[in-house]
Amino acid sequence: MCTNMSDELGMGKELMSINRRNMLTASLASAAAVGLSAKDAASAQADTPAERDHTDTPLPPVSLYDYEVAAKRILSGPAWEYFNGGSADEITLRRNRQALDLLQLKPKVLVDVTSIDTSRTLLGHNMAHPIILAPTSSHLLAHPDAEVATARGAASAKAIMVASTVSNRSVEDICHVASEPVWFQLYVEDDRSAVKALIERAETAGCKALCITVDNPLAYARNREERVRAQAPMLPFPNLGITAAPGGRGRSRRHFNWKDLGWIQSFAKTPIVLKGIMNPDDADEAVRHGVAAIIVSNHGGRVLDTEPATIEVLPAVVDRVAGRIPVLFDSGIRRGTDIVKGLAYGASAVLIGRPYIYGLSVSGADGVRSVIDILRAELEGAMAMTGRTRLDDIDRSVFWKAHEYRE
């Protein structure tokens, strides 16, 4: 049975004030990269102008939030709105973070944590850690080497990279510099001959899995992007052979359905992963259609607004899948503790998106590597303090339940 998340969240009214601002306040007392000051950090995380005041001591980035603040100073206005924004009123975007913050971990002491093993095997690949780079578009907005720099950073951090259909560098260029597996993210557009050719092209380039995005059949209320669209540059999208605004949107993908998935399976040579599953019924359908894995994702709060946070639906999806295929999880991950929470609810691995883009914008490939290294170190620390020395030791018993410490 699915764990009652209201019991695990079980937080009193006073805890509902915990939100992204509070997390940033804790982690960004001061931060600096490329001239970033504590005052800048406070300004970026504050909810109101009155709260935007702090000291002005330069410090290097030591958290994913530090990289976010530094990236805001570097990126152009249209680039920042594209990467940082969500859909509509950004309720789901904020909820992704809030729901993770509200889950409380239970420490366990006097456990020998001399050796912490973060390795995992996924789709036949031995991973050094469970952190994967989610597919994101338009890396050229963040760095002149675009997805090639991202691939180099992923390789140096021993991370799988999921390359987007709408990358600014070709899938061949990305695979050429990658020493860790590359998966290819696919939007199934209505032109089926073009879809088949692109899948075969990705396989020839060396991609080890096909990650099909299923939650974004059309553009939906990206208001922050829309307000600055006239200022945004046109970018190349060599996988599609087009030049377009950030994201490369505009092509129809409304027709894609379960029957079309079967058509892709009839010729695709690599494992198929479905990204964007938020409904346990859809998860069950995916298993019955023979996919290799699914990703519980709300596109980082960039598709249907007011749907739940991914961490809120993850337990129900995992329970419905019941171990038949791996379940992965993304959206809102900023701390090693977030990874522990996702794994505790049954995820095999997690994906990050915006954070590595921020690292890319600040320091190129080195920034991507640094973001992953920070998360990995925090994961190891959280495992040690919860008494877990292997990823398989992390289960739902790591959470406090409200009735265990409240009268």
Report, as residue numbers or ranges, the catalytic residues: 299
Q: Using the structure block, give the residue that is written with the tokens 């937080």.
A: 11
Write the single-letter amino acid at 181.
Answer: P
277 contacts 293 by C-beta, under 8 angstroms: no
Give the H/E segment covering residue 347: none
CA 84 to chain centre: 12
Write the single-letter amino acid at 158.
Answer: K
Rounded-to-integer distance, Cα 296 and Cα 327, Å: 7
User: What percent of the residues of the chain are helix, what percent strand, and what percent coil, each to the nearest 5?
Assistant: 45, 10, 45
Instruction: Indicate the angle between helix axes 20-27 and 64-74, nearest 10 degrees.
Output: 100
Would you state the structure tokens that stand for residue 378, as one six-digit string? Answer: 């925090």
346 contacts 308 by C-beta, under 8 angstroms: no
Q: Alpha helices of 182-309 — where are they, by DSSP H?
A: 192-205, 223-227, 258-265, 280-288
Write the single-letter amino acid at 162.
Answer: V
Rounded-to-integer distance, Cα 10 and Cα 12, Å: 7
Q: What is the DSSP string of 279-316?
A: -HHHHHHHHHTT-SEEEE--TTTTSSTTPPPHHHHHHH
364 contacts 153 by C-beta, under 8 angstroms: yes
